[in-house]
Structure 1
Amino acid sequence: MTNNELSRQVAGISQLSLAAALDQSVDCVKVIGLDGAVTYVNPNGLCAMEIDTPSDVLGKRWDTLWPEEGRPHIASGFATAQAGGVSRFRAHCPTAKGNSRWWDVSVSALRDDTGKLISYLAVSRDVTDAELSRQVLETATRELHHRLRNTYTMISSLIRGFARGDAHNDAFAGQMAERLIAMGRAQALFTSLEVPCSLVELIDALVLPFGSAFCPVATDKVRDMPIARALADTIALVVGELAVNSSKHGAIAHGGAITLSSEDQDGDIVITWHEVSNRPVQATSRDGGQGLNLINRIVRLREGAIDLDWQPDGLTARLRFKGGVAA
């Protein structure tokens, strides 16, 4: 249904019924004039914003009720609505009494029967609890990653210390330390739940630590693109599981080569893992094996697809995630 069709349906509802529906909404519903001034606020909106009387906001520019950092969202929302779209954003705005609140906001156009823009509809939902929980989780995640990187560093130091004085073990310890440090760098990419991650940096951090002269690991034609944090986590889990499987049964364990590539196909991310092992493939599944089942479950949860093409000497796995490229 288009905005114009919706507007015509709304026009068929009596003003009394429409006002009653808006008054019952648990969200903060506002009608904003073309000059940016507030012309209507529902009662629950007044309550949510801790506004004593409608006259405190009616006739005032909506953007002036927001902190300076939130006002660009308002201007962008009006522009999107004028173009026929619906703008959505999350921003911080204290109540009239100064209490901190976070809001999920949508801005859309209200048009008359001829399609002429007559005002804007702004709907705000209090998401303070969810936003604070997200911030707590993000802070805890950063602390966990920090501690994990410290653990990698400590283990690297211990390995080097135990191997000191033995030329053979010292070389092995150096290789292991480099892998641990690289894994720590991979963790450092995940510093925020919101900020997109570079696909090139992610793949390099995930697979290059496993490379060696015995089994080179290379990235070929990996197109750099921003990907959302949730998808980055999924890619890390899947590629990590493929690497673990190879370190047990494939090229990393028995020699060979691994190549990764990626491309953007109409907004979908396609990642290809191509592995050739010096030892022929013994089995494509095994009793009690959970690795490939785990990969399939992880990919399905992200509404993705995976194709496993087993060859006598290795595996080609193709991952596709719809709409994976971050805006």
Structure 2
Amino acid sequence: MVAHDTYAESIPADLTARDEAARRHVLREEAARLRVPPRDARAQAGRPALPTGGFPGSAADWEARLATAEELNARLRASEAFTARLLAASRDSIQVLALDGTVQWVSEGGRAAPDEAVVGTAWAASWPEPGDRVAADVALAAARADRTGRFRAPSGSRDDPRWWDVVVSPIHGPDGHPERLLAVARDVTEAHRAEEQQALLMQEMAHRVKNTLALVQAVATQTLRSAPTVEAAMKAFNGRLMALSDAHDVLIRGAWAAADLAAVVEAAMAPHIDAVAGRVIAAGPGVSVGPRSVLTLSLMLHELATNAAKYGALSSPSGRVAITWDLAGADDRVLRLRWQESGGPAVAPPSRGGFGSRLIERSLVHSFGGRVSLRYPPVGVVMELEAPLAAMQEGTA
């Protein structure tokens, strides 16, 4: 077959392309020459001369054999070209290794996983981290033992690594035993980053759930301690839970990273807004606050609004509530928030502090290191809060 290929390749390509009859003529001449080899050539080689008949078969037979060889060679070249295109189109890193782990062949995509994996080098040693090199050695040992090895490892720069899911499998020889090894690495960088982000979100969610449960426990304890009856305790507790629920809705819209203060105020005051125009006025610059601040401020506004609906400005059709805030300071900025009631019945200081006043006077100060004052002038309740903006924004993105 090799001899046939050599003779076929000796045919001029332009002659084959231009004139099919000429190609057949050349083939017939080659067939005739093969059928009758020179006698002196065999004599010089020390072999007896062939009979006059030469090689068996007619010129047509030899022409058919040469044509078949030519067709088979064309198919082989087309198959090799298709395989090369297939490997070039693959996004995976494909490498052929010797049994000792030496790189023998690398696909175009394989040159990136890792960067140092080149022909003639030790494949396992090319992984940058010592732990990854150990994992590569373990995968090689598994493949040599006629099993499949697998691990995940990064390559490239530490600041922006590419992550690879690597599978090492045996390439069997004619005897059925591993002859070489095949290492295929798939780029899973995006999936790896998504898994890291999901794990981080789960940890953050667990932390927030614990904080929320602790807050609910504190609300329940304070409500039961100050309520005169079980019915009153249930009503107050349900209202406070709804305030927490509304606060969570605001946080969810902000992907639990932050929430706009105006949205927090709107959610907390929504149950108390009626058809009377200007009943509740909220004004201030755009300020983002963190998850902990959202929950605490929501509860604070809920308590102020509930008291205003029972005894203060919101218990009268002419009553009004103004909630305003601004930022003070240049470097260490301070958030200032003010609650001002007006137009309602005359107000008197309570005989004893309830849950709302304790939440406002203690929790906010302890949580954010600020200052708060709660006053009861006859014209309406006034609450003023000042807290470091950085503390209020703790946990924001």
TM-score (norm 1): 0.46
Higher relative contact order (CA 8 A, sep 6+): 1
**Larger-Rg structure:** 2
Which is helix-richer, 1 or 2?
Answer: 2
